[in-house]
Structure 1
């Protein structure tokens, strides 16, 4: 199937383009970007122009920042195109709900992707936790914003999510692997003096079984990056590291050792192909709901200014 990739930035170049080139399901037929291109692929700077010029491209994948994404997705759906959304699927819950309804009204597929759910050990972790009695789950998600988003000021603007841009990856795993629903009960958000989005966050959740569920997100990590979560249960302890790529039960590694992001985006595109073929929709908004609740409920603290 032909697909158009919208927004040729770092994540598109590093993950989307290689995944599409290696996929048996997809042919990257066009790109839309103000500056980026992909060698050998027709490039447009106008999304409207691409839709008009390439009516045979029935699927678009949006890799734009979250704030402008709604307008692009709505325009694609109005033009009869299936839509795949990079995480987070939008800047607000309401616009994501509206997009899902647009897709349903038109009989189109729409997919809110959460790439970290496709990490190699997320499914085994979910299976292991399914019949366990959880006592605590702690997430440590600390990375260097300068390394992953160099000079990208939009991430600290209103709607850019700040540290929840990576933190929502952790929330996507937590909502996938826990057998019981959780909801936020308290949060502390650290806002740089000169920014509109937080650079760090501490979250605490209500768990129906009384387990202690907490998250520590920070965008100021230097040196080794930390993407881990530890679940302590009556029956043992599960540890996920490297963003869900590796898993340990009571200290013993389970399965093969992987580096981060291995296979995540190829699996997303395989799922999108299945949705399009079956006319399906996948718009799980639980990770975004937890992030939104943090902004609603969180206590705001001001920290030192941040500049790239």
Structure 2
């Protein structure tokens, strides 16, 4: 009888522990679902609201799409607004993000490779300073950068948005980590014994092996510049130099007096996501190559 009671007690204890484990395992799932909803619901609202005409935007159910051709009409109105200034803003954003992303990736590759592969005095101090730059909010640099560029007459220019993006502390940090992991010192030493210069080693060996990591740095910087609002808002005042973020904000301000512009701003926001999605999908194969390479190593 005692043995049966003990066995039953052990069984109940095991069941209670199994129940606790299931409850604990359920918490991350619930948190993940809540986080996903937090990200998806605003995007879903923009997608649905863009299908509605200005008359339907505030007179229909929030999460019920319209099938009366509102999206096509909104795109036509957006294209004709200000003589097609929206597409000029999108071109500006594309130029800022592409040129700034490529330039920042190049600077990050050079700096990260040098810190990872060369021993020089102050290297650790320099890397720690770069790590401190990662923790520094970029918003606090906008005003000093504006004052510096205005001193040399570069405010309200395309360069005023691209130049502050050249130094990316997080990109340098990633390149340093990636160069240390993917560029073997033995390969560099073999190249030096064959008479290759340091620049040729960096160009022919370092950049090729760091390629997948540089794609990641470029994409991250592209998205940062594409979504940047404060820096262009501070730096440029001419409408023809606005990126999409500042241009849509100016339309939203005018929408306070003209409610029809709300539909155009929503549609413009939806269209602004398409280039980022297309870039992400086109560069995804490089990450797959990187993962396979890491698995083989």
Normalised-by-shorter TM-score class: under 0.3
**Which of these two proteins has the greater Rg computed from alpha carbons?**
2
Which protein has the bigger helix share? 2
TM-score, normalised by the number of residues in structure 2: 0.24
Higher strand share: 1
The higher-RCO structure (CA 8 Å, 6+ apart) is 2
